[in-house]
A and B are shown apart, each in its own frame.
Chain A
């Protein structure tokens, strides 16, 4: 009766009877059966640029989230933040792969992640800002997840079938990221005097970077409504600060991106073509 134990019952699913692995079965490839040819109606260069920007956003934030490992306030939070970072890294890989198929260069995922410099990255500046304290990090995650969820929900019906499949996969992940971050923003905003003050400071510090994310986007109202709902429950004001000029999407970045990339890329650049 191995069904008495959740892990053993899962291992039952393996034909070779190998019960050492405590993972589930039935994994799915989100791109299984999706036609990778670019439809005639789609502008390939525009599609590639969009995949690159969305991939860069996710890669840089995944790196920031990974920086919390060994530094998070609780073991459980460390796992949560690392899991979310890995979700974003998974999205990045699919988006880079699509970019390589459509921008005419045929580059691999690694070429985009490891062999471009800061000025070639198209991420918004919000994701490259240093982690700050836990309040700053969960607020940024909330804003990012709200925006990306709204955007991916639209992209799930995009004319390019690959981008649509990537977005549909991402929607489920981002819904959880938003829930996780929203619970923490409410908990801290509506918590102690200290936690409330830290949330206020985080709002002031990062609100100037929001507009860049929301600008030129149909889902803007939806994102703001989401944020408003969470901030209200947290007892926090909606910040009204002027947006910072410049666009990370144009390659104009803060001084924080280059050091982040230097760490991210150091091994790949020291040992190009290495496999493991």
Chain B
């Protein structure tokens, strides 16, 4: 019980008052989902940072690896035509 190595790791995501999305803020140990939420509340929202919390077991996150870096991401570096920059934007179109 006193060995936190027995408690699984959770990744914590908080949605700020002004933010649109839940954003990763850190990780913590907890024995179960409910404890992860209370711990997250106490660790990551005590300075008025958030209005919503997601807690996800770290082992449930599928992550790309360093080995995949080149095949995953390098090919997009020279494909400038994928960026929508070849248009003239009319003056009366907002939010772009």
Residue from the list A26, A76, A79 in contact with B17, Cβ < 8 A: A26
**B42/A6 in contact, CB under 8 A:** no
CB of A245 within 8 A of chain B?
no
Interface string of B28-43 (1 = CB under 8 A from A): 1111001100110111
**B18/A9 in contact, CB under 8 A:** yes
**A5/B23 in contact, CB under 8 A:** yes
**B18/A12 in contact, CB under 8 A:** yes
**B49/A23 in contact, CB under 8 A:** yes
Inter-chain CA distance A41–B12, complex, in Å, is 50
Interface string of A168-199 (1 = CB under 8 A from B): 00000000100110010001000010010000
CB of B47 within 8 A of chain A?
yes
State which size class the interface on A falls in.
20 to 34
Within 8 A of B (CB), among A5-31: 5-7, 9-10, 12-13, 22-27
CB of A263 within 8 A of chain B?
no
User: By CB atoms of chain A within 10 A, which of B25, B29, B46 has the most?
Assistant: B46
CB of B85 within 8 A of chain A?
no
**A10/B17 in contact, CB under 8 A:** yes
Q: List 7 A-B contacts (CB under 8 A).
A: A6-B23, A6-B49, A7-B25, A12-B18, A24-B48, A24-B50, A80-B39
**B39/A76 in contact, CB under 8 A:** yes
What are the 5 A-B residue pairs with the smallest beta carbon separation, nearest first?
A24-B48, A23-B47, A6-B16, A76-B39, A6-B23
Residue from the list A6, A74, A79, A187 in contact with B19, Cβ < 8 A: A6
How far is the CB of A171 from the nearest CB of chain B, in Å?
A: 17
**B38/A22 in contact, CB under 8 A:** no
Chain A residues with CB below 8 A from B34, complex form: 183
CB of B64 within 8 A of chain A?
no
Interface residues, chain B, CB within 8 Å of chain A?
A: 1-2, 4, 7, 14-20, 23, 25, 28-31, 34-35, 38-39, 41-43, 46-50
A3-B19, A6-B25 are contacts. A25–B48 as well, Cβ < 8 Å?
yes
**B18/A180 in contact, CB under 8 A:** no
Could you list 19 further interchain pairs (A-B, Cβ under 8 angstroms) beyond the known A5-B23, A10-B48?
A3-B20, A6-B14, A6-B25, A7-B16, A7-B25, A10-B17, A12-B18, A23-B47, A24-B16, A24-B47, A26-B17, A26-B48, A74-B2, A74-B7, A74-B29, A76-B42, A83-B46, A176-B41, A192-B1
Inter-chain CA distance A6–B15, complex, in Å, is 7
**B49/A22 in contact, CB under 8 A:** yes
**A183/B18 in contact, CB under 8 A:** no
Inter-chain CA distance A73–B43, complex, in Å, is 16
Within 8 A of B (CB), among A148-185: 176, 179-180, 183
**B30/A187 in contact, CB under 8 A:** no
CB of A273 within 8 A of chain B?
no
Inter-chain CA distance A76–B40, complex, in Å, is 9
**B18/A10 in contact, CB under 8 A:** yes
CB of A4 within 8 A of chain B?
yes
Inter-chain CA distance A62–B46, complex, in Å, is 17
How far is the CB of A88 from the nearest CB of chain B, in Å?
A: 15
**A10/B31 in contact, CB under 8 A:** no
